[in-house]
Each structure stands twice: as C-alpha cells, then as structure tokens.
Chains A and B, each alone.
Chain A
C-alpha cells in the first residue's frame, strides 16, 4: 500500500496510537493497527512458544496473509518445530517466514554451539537479534506477544512502543493476564505446545530453558540461574547485559558439588595472554596443537561436549593427558550419568552438568559409576593407563 505522504516520526505516531486505542481490546488493536494509515507494513514475530497461539489465532481471524516471522535459532526443541508447522497449517497462515542465523556468522562465532554457556547474550544476539533485525528490514512495525505480567522489565509495557525511532512495536496482549491467555486458548480450542504439559510454561531454546516449578513465575525456567530475563530481541539494538552462565553441578567420585571455580574461562585464542592458574574452555574443534607449551600453566581445562552422543571429547581428554597435561580436567556440556565411567577412564577428573539434568539424574545415578576403575579392559591391556 503506497503511502500518500511520508509518515511522521515514530515517536509521535506511537503516542498518538496509544492515545487512540488505549481502551480497545486486543483484537480491535490488531485490526486497527493493520489498517491504520499511521502504520506502514507490519509483520508478526512469533516464537511458536507456549502462548504464541493466541496472537497467531487473532491475526488469522483478521488477515491470514500477514507475514509471520518465526525465528529458528537452531537450538529449539524439536517439539517447537513440529508445533510451528501444525499451528501454521491449522490456522491457515499464508506467509510464515522461517528465519535462521547467518551460516557464516555461526561458523565464525559459535562453531561448537556452546556460546550459550560462556556468553548467553552473545548467543541471543547471534541467533535471535541479528537474524530478526535482518528479517524486519522493510517493515514499519512488528507485532509481539509480550505481556506486562511476564517480568519486571515488562511491567510498564504499552500497546504501542517506539523502538529506537526505527520501528513501531505493537503489543496487543500487553494488558492480558495469565488467566486471559489460558481462557482464550481453551475457548477457541487452540492446540497447546506439547512441552506445556511437561512443565514448560515458557519455551525458548533447548539449552536455556528448563521446566519451571508450579509456584514459580512462568519465565523462571528461561536462563535459569542467570540474571538474564529478556532475550535481546526486545532490547534496543540487542544491548547485551553481562550475566553469569547458567548454574551447574560438578560431579566427582564423591557425588555432587557446586562449582568452586569462580574465575574467568579463557578461549584458546586468549592463551598467549593467560597467566599461571588460568582455566581454559575448549570444544571438539579446538586444535590441540595450539595448546602445546601452555599446558603446564593451566589450572583447569574444560572440554565441552556439544551432545552426549558426540564422543570426540573422550579422545580429546586422552590426548591432553598424553600430551602431559596434569591439571584439572573437566567434561562440560552434555554428558549423562551412564557416561561417567567413560569420562573418568578417558582422563577427566570431573563432569559439569546442567541443573535440570542433576534433577532428573540425581547423585546416586552418578555415584553408581564411582567404581569406574573396576572392570576396565584398558587397564589390563596396557601400562601407564
């Protein structure tokens, strides 16, 4: 729809829109926003998460051809991907655009898919904020499902927002209560995200979402153990807020303990500047050759397993020991209790696991393999093992 005259600045339009539609229902806000001459081309951004179906349904009753942007961070639950397809079809959405992170950027900045551990904000920027910014180019406004009840940063949320003078953000559900959301889903017989029934009231990426307790706020499971509350796409320019990595549990032969390492984790690139007693974080792609000459000085090396089915870390541990590394060696990322003996036999001293895994596989599951020195064929076939 070509516009007759250039639109006034975003700030002025947002104020006017908020004034006009203050007392309107979500459906009315949406309908007007999609037709109001003060608003240019609009897209809906949806995570196809726990409550997304409400807004998607609202939009489908007004305009099924509205572009719907779905961000596949490539870290999502498979259930979310299946749900996205099911809901899109059920509602007859005609223009769902699946946006993925930039391949080269991924390769350069997160080749092992472990960035979320060391720097969750950088991970969000790479996998959400930047792809979204690209996807929104050419749009004057976008619709979000954010609600005031979702977190302290959102308590004063308005129906229309000025996003840094660049774009209008439309939050039709800003005033909705959790009850409103549930009622709407029930009354319209909308399909629920399959993970909701398994204790996930708020669903983001696989690696940063855990089920929330019943009495906890719904988003408590997102970035559990970190200060992080917003995922960056709702921040101006994806401003990063530094925060600690998600809380983890350290497993040794004596059971669970909290992490006693409070210092920073270095990447292999920073090795040259590392002093004695530093801790190094490596992934399966790390070239061990570049560590030669530094091993003596390191207090700890953490080898990250991108998935428990990816066994490269075991070979890396063996190789580090073979290269003469005698410091603390930790297996991080995704290992399960049944792999504890393999980790210890490969030369690891300890395993670091996520809090949710520690809940599902409690200490006794791990202690059952504290006998890893028993029945080890390698130790009877070779010396110095």
Chain B
C-alpha cells in the first residue's frame, strides 16, 4: 500500500501577482525553484504544506516532487519543470528573468 516517500518542495502562487513561488527553509517565498526547501520526510512535508495553506498572501499551495541538483532542488515532473521555467512556445515566465532551473 504505502509507497516510498519521494522528496518534495512546497510551491504556490503569489496572491497578487500570480507568480509561481516556492517555500524556503526559512519561511520565505522565493521565485526561484533552486531556493526551495527540499523536504525529505513525509510528515514534515505535510506540516510545511499546512503552514503554506495558512499563509494569507499565497494561493494554491501544494507539494511538488523535486530532487537535489547542482544549484539546489530541481523539478522532477514535466509539469513542475514548465512551472519552474515557463512555457515552451515563448520565452516567458521564469526563463524571462533568468530564474529557471
């Protein structure tokens, strides 16, 4: 039944701008995926998510799979990679600001 827990980060959108944001270990919301806190423990992941859900200027908080890369956590799934980078048809989103992983 229980699957092995894979590392996660907490991500959301900024309430006012809508930007994709990531929760860091010191409770700051960063625009940069590489600054996210990589959570290795399922119970902690749930608690961090609960913390994120209770934040007022944040919407759509959820957990996303990630793994440690050279410069910090990197997305695992394509969907999260697109969120962390931007769409593939135009150079918009994070890739516009050099923030992409």
Contact = CB atoms under 8 A, between A and B. Distances in A.
Interface in B23-73: 42-44, 46-47, 49-51, 53-54
A82 interface: yes
B47 A191 contact: yes
Nearest to A88: B43
A198 B54 CA distance: 8
A83 B42 CA distance: 13
- Of all A-B residue pairs in the complex, the 3 with the closest CB atoms, nearest first, are A86-B46, A90-B43, A89-B43
Nearest to A90: B43
Contacts of B54: 79, 194, 197-198
Contact of A90 (B47, B49, B51, B53): B47
A282 to B, nearest CB: 35
A83 B46 CA distance: 8
Interface residues of A, number: 11
A64 to B, nearest CB: 14
Interface of B: 42-44, 46-47, 49-51, 53-54
B47 to A, nearest CB: 5
Interface in A333-369: none
A82 B42 CA distance: 12
Interface string A58-85: 0000000000000000000001001101
Contacts of B47: 86, 90, 191
Nearest to B44: A90
16 contacts: A79-B50, A82-B49, A82-B50, A82-B53, A85-B46, A86-B43, A86-B46, A86-B50, A89-B42, A89-B43, A89-B46, A90-B43, A90-B46, A191-B47, A191-B50, A194-B53
Interface string A180-202: 00000000000100100110000
A194 B46 contact: no
A82 B54 CA distance: 12
Contacts of B53: 79, 82, 194
B50 A194 contact: yes
A191 B47 CA distance: 7
Given A89-B46, A198-B54, 20 more contacts: A79-B54, A82-B46, A82-B49, A82-B50, A82-B53, A83-B50, A85-B46, A86-B46, A86-B47, A89-B42, A89-B43, A90-B43, A90-B46, A90-B47, A191-B47, A194-B50, A194-B51, A194-B53, A194-B54, A197-B54
